[in-house]
Copies of this chain bind each other. A is one copy, B any other.
């Protein structure tokens, strides 16, 4: 038994094949030049790599993958330099993992035999699986208990507010907030879990996980090529979502731009609103189809507005029925519609979750709501305030977790995530 033995071969291993090729050829030379370069030349036999670099971070307009693992972190770093080093290390690891490679120069099993492996190893045989890793900064990164912890308070964006407590909120502290946020999305949950776990491991001594959440079955499409998925109420969700193809809407409603100097570091970025919304599925399942469709404002089968047409027909909120308009003013559709929210749109990118069962035998299941938007003050707080009070659906929901994060712009090779904030 020697380390070499476990590096070569791997005939059944998919990722192992690239590693072996890299170790024997170009990759080895590149690897010697440093962790960043290790095996950069490897290519996947399937085209499932989403590039890390670009004007915006990946994982926002990227065609929504089927699985998500998200974590928020509390910084324990005592210096600004330590935070920067963490972001550098995370960027390096994200570059490797999104390309389908192990973390570090020697990866899961090619390193020194008397040291912990650099990569935890559970993704060794798996593809890149369209992994994206999206990073965000919470308000407490800038200021906590009145303290300018890392010398960035002067750059706190005005829109990175403390979200107000909405009517009916039942937020649990250990599912809420966080200094840093990492959202990993992939075709394979093991790839997403591996990513968050390795970032958590890299953060050891500088940040620790505050909360984490696994999600499946995306609850919105982000590309016109995708079929609209269904949430755990059995209804199509995200029909009116902003799509990657809607460039004008993205520029207006998602991407931050033209900020004042102190906030210019966020130009090209966005804000992520995350809400863990438990759905009382047992209660919902006992209501009539009529009630369900009334609450949603759409038909269950086709997802068409109750005013008629098909899924993508514009709703007619004034079309009268026997008792008032066909689409109830308190329906989810009416309250969430841009017409009733000053014309605002958002890019939704949430997931279903199922976290076991409570003491009464009820599923702790629902939606991990994720929305990207240009300003939470105009694009989220008014809508959620109205919904929490008037939404017919509210009685079936319980918000148990919450986070608001400034999502910095994309980076180019050689930069680290959030670099403009610290330079």
Contacts and interface: CB of A to CB of B under 8 A. Distances in A.
Interface of A: 1, 3, 5-14, 16, 19, 66-67, 69, 71, 74, 108-117, 119-125, 174, 188-190, 193, 197, 200-201, 208-214, 216-217, 227-235, 281-282, 285-290, 292-293, 299-302, 304, 306, 308, 310-311, 321, 326, 352, 354-357, 359, 361-363, 365
Contacts of A300: 6, 108-109, 117, 121
A345 B121 CA distance: 27
A244 to B, nearest CB: 18
25 contacts: A6-B299, A69-B354, A71-B357, A109-B299, A109-B301, A112-B289, A115-B288, A115-B289, A116-B285, A116-B288, A116-B289, A117-B234, A120-B232, A121-B233, A121-B234, A121-B300, A174-B357, A189-B217, A197-B285, A197-B363, A200-B363, A212-B357, A214-B214, A214-B216, A355-B356
Given A111-B289, A230-B124, A288-B115, A216 B200 contact: no
Taking chain A's interface residues, is the majority helix, strand, or loop, or is none over half, making it mixed? loop
A201 B285 contact: yes
Contacts of A6: 293, 299-302, 304
Contacts of A299: 1, 5-6, 109
Given A1-B326, A122-B230, 15 more contacts: A6-B299, A9-B310, A12-B311, A16-B302, A108-B234, A109-B299, A122-B233, A122-B234, A122-B352, A174-B357, A193-B354, A197-B285, A197-B363, A212-B363, A214-B214
Contacts of A212: 354, 356-357, 363
Given A209-B357, A301-B7, A301-B10, A285 B1 contact: no
B211 A356 contact: yes
A366 to B, nearest CB: 11
Contacts of A111: 289
A117 B233 CA distance: 11
B214 A356 contact: yes
Nearest to A353: B214
A100 to B, nearest CB: 15
Contacts of A122: 217, 230-234, 352
Chain B CB within 10 A, most for which of A69, A208, A354: A354
Nearest to A107: B301
Contact of A209 (B119, B302, B361): B361
Given A108-B301, A115-B289, A209-B357, A234 B363 contact: no
Contacts of A109: 234, 289, 299-301
- The 8 A-B pairs at the shortest CB distance, nearest first, are namely A121-B234, A6-B301, A208-B361, A190-B217, A109-B300, A6-B299, A189-B216, A109-B301
Contact of A125 (B209, B227, B288): B227
A14 B226 CA distance: 13
Contacts of A210: 357, 361
A230 B355 contact: no
Contacts of A228: 12
Given A356-B355, A357-B212, A286 B363 contact: no
